[in-house]
Structure 1
């Protein structure tokens, strides 16, 4: 008879204990932020540049946001920069060291606030630093918990610091300009995480967007301009070995299945005008094979386009003329891809297209023996590029028709 009261007391005790544990858990979660960082104590980094200064010495430069005080004034962090007589929104501070970690410690000594990397948008390697080797710099960025892995990476002509010091006429700072340009996907877009994966991947090669400074307008100051992407830099074993121009760089995008947007213009040989098409979809498939000891790679590129403008007099209501335009687009895409492939195989011996990964997945046993000599195998590999384009919306065209035969890329 006494078992029921005991059971009730036991359930009540367990219930009270659970409530107490819940209160304790809530108290733990809602305790004060013991490790909080006040905004007024932080120096927000918007962009960073790594340059080679001399043998054994490198320079780290950061673009720091200048907070605005109430009432429209500005609170400077130890330096000023002007833009047409008004206070700029960022400043650039540099420090040298034997490594990026060493330079980082010296940089902190020159700032009254703690360097905060949470808003960093871009990393810019100067060309001399890239030629010296950036593998150790990338390793530091991944080991350190502060730098952002999703920040975009660029290699600049000359000093990377020069690009940070620009005062763009439209965006808030030069780092934001590069980030916005990358969003268009008209050139390569590589994050620090993706760069690290390429440098440690099967091919041990990478391609990065190469930036140059646009000459300023005649009525502007020398630094009142922007940096923009002009081709790509080729890296092998963590070092820059060369660069490709903008048209060849677009071929890299085709081969890596990374082209998101494009406007293609084909100009018929027997017409005064041209046909411009906007690519709305693209898919690239790599088909590796090994036949009698010879390594082959078939690249299939499928695209869909809309006609944006037709000034040729060609009637795209006729299926045969649509097919002719599609053939012209196919030739253009194949030529662009070959323009990127040829120097990569013959001059740089660098697999920047992911062919090694494709062979590793398809032929893992053969890859084990070929890995050590991959550069030689890639350089001698037979590559066949086949493009198949489809015009899905030809739009309204003029009735007269001439046959298009050759094409040019508007970008």
Structure 2
């Protein structure tokens, strides 16, 4: 008969219960994970995907929230009726517009959910559009709600609409799937301002307390087409001060805003150099804008230094661009065109709107924090009387093939 060592018996008696408990605990964890993995899942068929949202001012103290909902349907499902639905007329995609009123966005959203059999899902929302009346009334509270809520997307594009914002959602674009996608694609071209909800909040709460947002208008439909079969497009910018819209700027003036904010990504200029009968068209390769704030003896001054690198697109002057002296003349013409554009937008912002939409306050805050703290309470007055010097240095790196025999039409002017 073999007898176990006493220490061996002790280990067996001690380890077996521990192993059993560990196995039981492991099995329990697996059961919990398996049963809790999909407890909060949401089926696609139960969701209404919002592609765009519009906020309009209906009356004093009442707003209207409209949402453009994407609904996959079979081809030939029908046309828009009563402003409630919009479809391309072919294909399986359809967008439906629903709207509800309330004293705030939160209130309107709750009423809106009552009118939809599916749960509103904001994860695919691409644009927010504020009607002009709502923008003039003030949008601080709306922006605050959108950023506080966990459902709406803070990186969605923001626009101000001439007239009612809801009208843009109800348009039926000829090419894209819906009108919200049209606005998103137009913003991607970088020919104008590109503002997200997060950017807008930073503008409204920053040192300048002012901002600029893309301004959209409805393109007239082609002759014989329904009034809704068109798109809204960007036509300049809406200027904000203290959370309210105070005016607009056209496309040309908006380009000046981009130059001053170092946000120019695409630019095209057509200039008429001195001593020439034609014009030269150039496209910008890259650019850089530097704001240099100075404060001497109580005088606030901003120096704007701009450097650009460009390529020739067309030359109708009849002069040889291989001539360095002539190339220098073209560069000088570009500098003058850039400075003229910036001076124009500066005059409007300082004299008409008294709104620092260029970020001058941020530059002074960083460079002269003590003086800034004393002046921030009346910054609009400081900005209005501030001296601004614009220095431009343009270089042509790609003159292309010389074209001294080009036909010279009438003189042109700078375009974008």
Alpha-carbon deviation of 1:88?
Answer: 6.0
Cα contact 1:81–1:87 (8 A) shared by 2? no
Distance in 2 of aligned mates of 1:194 and 1:91:
28
Matched, 1:59 2:59: no
Q: 2:142 aligns with which of 137, 141, 144?
A: 137
Mark the structure with the bigger radius of gyration. 2
Alpha-carbon deviation of 1:312?
Answer: 1.8
Residues 281 and 12 from structure 1, CA distance in 2 versus in 1: closer, same or farther, beyond 3 angstroms? farther
Q: 2:252 aligns with which of 237, 247, 256?
A: 247
Alpha-carbon deviation of 1:151?
Answer: 0.3
Alpha-carbon deviation of 1:271?
Answer: 3.8
Cα contact 1:80–1:91 (8 A) shared by 2? yes
Distance in 1 of aligned mates of 2:158 and 2:345:
20
What SS is found at the alignment partner of 2:217?
strand
User: For 1:316-352, what per-residue CA distance to the aligned partner results, in whole angstroms no more than 9, with x for missing partners?
Assistant: 1111111111111111111111111111111111100
Distance in 2 of aligned mates of 1:43 and 1:246:
36
User: For 1:235-263, what per-residue CA distance to the aligned partner results, in whole angstroms no more than 9, with x for missing partners?
Assistant: 00100011111111100000000111111
Distance in 2 of aligned mates of 1:260 and 1:286:
18
Cα contact 1:202–1:357 (8 A) shared by 2? yes
User: For 1:287-335, what per-residue CA distance to the aligned partner results, in whole angstroms no more than 9, with x for missing partners?
Assistant: 0010110001001111111111222212111111111111111111111
The equivalences for 1:150-161 within 5 A come to 150-161=155-166
What SS is found at the alignment partner of 1:228?
strand
- TM-score norm. by structure 1 comes to 0.90
Matched, 1:410 2:411: no
Q: Which position in structure 2 is the counterpart of 1:207? A: 212
The equivalences for 1:112-127 within 5 A come to 112-127=117-132
Residues 377 and 34 from structure 1, CA distance in 2 versus in 1: closer, same or farther, beyond 3 angstroms? same
Matched, 1:317 2:358: no
Distance in 1 of aligned mates of 2:268 and 2:233:
19
Alpha-carbon deviation of 1:91?
Answer: 1.4
Cα contact 1:68–1:75 (8 A) shared by 2? no
What SS is found at the alignment partner of 1:63?
strand
Distance in 2 of aligned mates of 1:14 and 1:332:
83
Q: Which position in structure 2 is the counterpart of 1:192? A: 197
Alpha-carbon deviation of 1:32?
Answer: 2.0
Q: Which position in structure 2 is the counterpart of 1:106? A: 111
Distance in 1 of aligned mates of 2:14 and 2:347:
80
Residues 10 and 73 from structure 1, CA distance in 2 versus in 1: closer, same or farther, beyond 3 angstroms? farther
What SS is found at the alignment partner of 2:353?
coil
Q: Which position in structure 2 is the counterpart of 1:295? A: 300
Residues 36 and 319 from structure 1, CA distance in 2 versus in 1: closer, same or farther, beyond 3 angstroms? same
Alpha-carbon deviation of 1:269?
Answer: 5.5
User: For 1:145-196, what per-residue CA distance to the aligned partner results, in whole angstroms no more than 9, with x for missing partners?
Assistant: 0100000000011001111111111111000000000011100000000100
Q: Which position in structure 2 is the counterpart of 1:183? A: 188
Distance in 2 of aligned mates of 1:12 and 1:129:
73
Q: Which position in structure 1 is the counterpart of 2:3? A: none
Root mean square deviation, CA, Å: 3.1
The equivalences for 1:11-410 within 5 A come to 31-69=36-74, 72=75, 74=77, 80-84=85-89, 89-268=94-273, 270-399=275-404, 408-410=413-415
Residues 5 and 318 from structure 1, CA distance in 2 versus in 1: closer, same or farther, beyond 3 angstroms? farther
- TM-score norm. by structure 2 comes to 0.89
Alpha-carbon deviation of 1:85?
Answer: 7.7
Alpha-carbon deviation of 1:73?
Answer: 6.5
Distance in 2 of aligned mates of 1:215 and 1:77:
18
Cα contact 1:124–1:156 (8 A) shared by 2? yes
Cα contact 1:50–1:59 (8 A) shared by 2? yes
What SS is found at the alignment partner of 2:388?
strand
- Mind listing any 5+ residue stretches in structure 2 that lack a counterpart? 1-5
Cα contact 1:117–1:148 (8 A) shared by 2? yes
Equivalent pairs, count: 406
What SS is found at the alignment partner of 1:223?
coil
Cα contact 2:88–2:94 (8 A) shared by 1? no
